[in-house]
Structure 1
C-alpha cells in the first residue's frame, strides 16, 4: 500500500506507523487505548495477511528483528510469561518511547541500533552465577530471551528484571 514518504525516516518505521494506524488492519495490529504502544493479534495470521502487503516478506521473526533493531520493546503480560498458560493470549505487545499514535513528527527520532556492541561494562556469566550466556540459549529456550530487553542494560537492571520475572512466575504457579 503506497503512502507518502517522510524524508529521513526509515521506510520500515513509516510502514509500521501506517500499518498500525490503518483501520483495515485493526483485527490484527492496532494501537493501545492510550496510543503509546501497539498490539499484534494472531502473529502468524498477521504475517500471512499483512506483512506481505507492506514488506518483501511474510516472516514474523524478521518483523520482530526489525522492531528490536529500532529499539522497540516487547511488553510481557503476566499470563504470557508464566509456565502455565490458558492458551488464549495469542498476541504480542510492543512499545517505543518515540512511537505514538498521531505523532508522526516523532518517527525521525527513532534510530536504528548500532550493529556493534559497546563494551563499556558487559555483564558476563561469571558476574551473575547460573545465567546462561546468550550463545548457549537453545532454540526451545528462546522464549526466555524476551524476558530481558535486548538493548544494553546495566547489571543491576538485568538482575532486577530477572528477579521481577522470577517473582511473577512464582506467583503465577501458586494459583
Structure 2
C-alpha cells in the first residue's frame, strides 16, 4: 500500500466518532455535512477522549485538530472543518496530514491565543450559569422552608382553637371592629379637614366654636357636647401563622 494512502490515526478516530450516530449527544456532523460539532465539551472529554485517545484533555484535542489543518468555523460553538473531512467521503481522509514545521510555528501561536480566548469565554459563561443556579437554589430553599413551617403553624392554630374554642370568633370580631374604626376615622378626616391637619399647621381651637355661659362654663354653639375620644381596642396578645389573623 502506498504511504500516501494511509490515513492518520488521529484523523481516522475523529471521523469514527463524528460518524457514529450513537454519539450525537456529544459530537456530530454539522448542518452541511462538511464540518463537525462538539456538543458537550465536558462530557466529550470525560467519556469519549479516554476511549479513543487515552486522555481527557479537550485542549489537547483542539491542538491536534489545528495541527492537522482543521479550523474553527463558528465563534459561538466548538465547530471545526477541513476541506477533506466530509461525510461519506472517507477516501479523502488520506489528504489530511500534519502541517509542516515551518507553517505551524506562527500559526500555532495564533491558534493557542484563539483557543485561550475561547476557553476564557466558555469559563465566564459557565460561571454566570453557576451564579444563576445558586440564586435559584437559594430561592427554592426559602420557599421550601416556608412550606415546611406551614404545617407547624397550622398545628399551633389548631391547638389554640382546641384550648379556647372562642378564640376565632373573638379575633374576627376584633378585626371587624378595627376595620370599622379605621373607616370612621377616614370618613371624619374627609368631612372635617381640621381633623387631618397637623398640630403645627392648625391653630389650637375647638369645633364647633364654644361660647361662655353665665356661670363661666363653655358650651358648644352647636348645642351638643364633643364626642369622647375613641381609643382603639387592645390588640389580641398573640398572633397566629406569623402575621396575625
Coarse TM-score class (shorter-chain normalised): 0.5 to 0.7
Alignment partner for residue 82 of structure 2, among 96, 107, 113? 96
Contact 2:67 2:104 in 1 (8 A): no
- 1:120-139 map, 5 Å: none
What is residue 11 of structure 1 aligned with on the other side? 9
| SS at 1:74 equivalent | strand
What is residue 105 of structure 1 aligned with on the other side? 91
Alignment partner for residue 29 of structure 2, among 22, 28, 31? 31
**Higher helix proportion, which one?**
2
1:8–1:41 distance in 2 versus 1, CA, 3 Å: same
- 1:53-72 map, 5 Å: 53-72=51-70
> C-alpha displacement at 1:138, in angstroms?
7.9
Q: RMSD of aligned C-alpha atoms?
A: 3.0
TM-score (norm 1): 0.57
1:57–1:7 distance in 2 versus 1, CA, 3 Å: farther
- Segments of structure 1 that go 5 or more residues without pairing to the other structure are 1-5, 81-90, 123-133, 146-175
> C-alpha displacement at 1:33, in angstroms?
2.6
TM-score (norm 2): 0.41
Distance 2:113 2:69 in 1: 24
Distance 1:12 1:118 in 2: 18
